[in-house]
Amino acid sequence: MILTVTLNTALDVTHHVPKLIPHASHRVTTVTERAGGKGLNVARVLAALGHDVTATGFAGGRTGAAVRELLAGSPRVTDALVPCAGPTRRTLAVVDRASGDTTQFNEPGPQIGSAEWTAFLARYEALLTGAAAVALCGSLPPGVPVGAYATLVRSARATGVPVLLDTSGEALRRGVAARPEMIKPNAAELAELTGSREPLQATRDARRRGAHAVVTSLGPGGLLAATAQGTWQAAPPRALTGNPTGAGDSAVAGLLSALTEGLDWPERLTRAVALSAATVHAPTAGEFDPRTYEQVRGSVTLTER
C-alpha cells in the first residue's frame, strides 16, 4: 500500500468557458467536481497505475462530506481522512477553451485545532505500519504547525518508509532538513528554497540541504533530477497544450510508483514525465490520457547533466 497525505484537501470545481474575458459574464459549458488537493490527485493516478492507495488528511463540513463521497467512487483508494470541525476548502479552475489556459482560485482551508492535529498524528502513525512509501503533498491548512511535514518525514524515516515531499515555502524548508527520500519542487519553489534561479545549481544545492534526491519540475522542459546515482534531465518530445492542473501531481505518482516497483532513476523519470504530459491532455486533475502516456513514454529524451 502507498500512503498519500493531503492535509489541505479540497473540493475541486472546474468550469470550462469558450473564452475567459475579464470583467465579463460567462456562460459555463461544462462543470466537473473532484475530490482534490495534491495528495488526492496523486492517489487517483497511483490507483490507475494499479497500486493500492490509502489517502489521509483532513475533511470537514459539507464540502468535506462531498470530497469523501467522491473519493468513495475511486477504485483502489481507501479513505482514511480525519474529521475536522472547519469546512474543507474549495478550489475553482476556469479553463479557457480558446487559449487552453487555466485560471485557478484556491481557498485557504479550515482552521485545524490542536486536538484535531493530535488525532491526525495518531492516524498517520498507525497507517505507516502498512505503507511501502508515503507522499506528503500540498499546502498546510491554518492551525497546522509550520514544521508539520518535518515531523511526518521523521516519523516515516523512523519506521523505514521512504517519503516523497511536495510542498513549498517554509514547510518545504523545514521538511528538507528532516531528510526525505525525495522532494519535487517546481522551479519557482526551488529558487525560493535555495536562492538560486539556475535550475541545475539549485537542484544540487537542495540535495545538500538534506533531501536524498531532488526532482525539479521545469514545466515544458520536463524534470531535472539530482540523485546519489547521477543527475538527469528528462523532457517530453514537444510542449503539449491543455489543462496543466495536476500535471505535477501525476509526476509525483510516477516517481513514487516507480520507486516502490524498484525501477532505476531513468525509468522513474521517464514514467513521471510521460504521466505529467498525459495529464495536460486530461480534462481534470488526477487523471491522465492513456494514449498520450504511451506515446510520450516511448519518446522521452533523457540527458545526463
**Active-site residues: which are they?**
249
95 vs 222: CA distance, rounded Å: 22
Could you tell me how far CA 165 lies from the centroid of its own chain?
A: 9
Assign 3-class secondary structure to the chain: CEEEEECCCEEEEEEEECCCCCCCCCCCCEEEEEEECHHHHHHHHHHHCCCCEEEEEEECHHHHHHHHHHHCCCCCEEECCEECCCCCEEEEEEEECCCCCEEEEECCCCCCCHHHHHHHHHHHHHHHCCCCEEEEECCCCCCCCCCHHHHHHHHHHHCCCCEEEECCHHHHHHHHHCCCCEECCEHHHHHHHHCCCCHHHHHHHHHHCCCCEEEEECHHHCEEEEECCEEEEEECCCCCCCCCCCHHHHHHHHHHHHHHCCCCHHHHHHHHHHHHHHHHCCCCCCCCCHHHHHHHHCCCEEEEC
94 vs 70: CA distance, rounded Å: 20
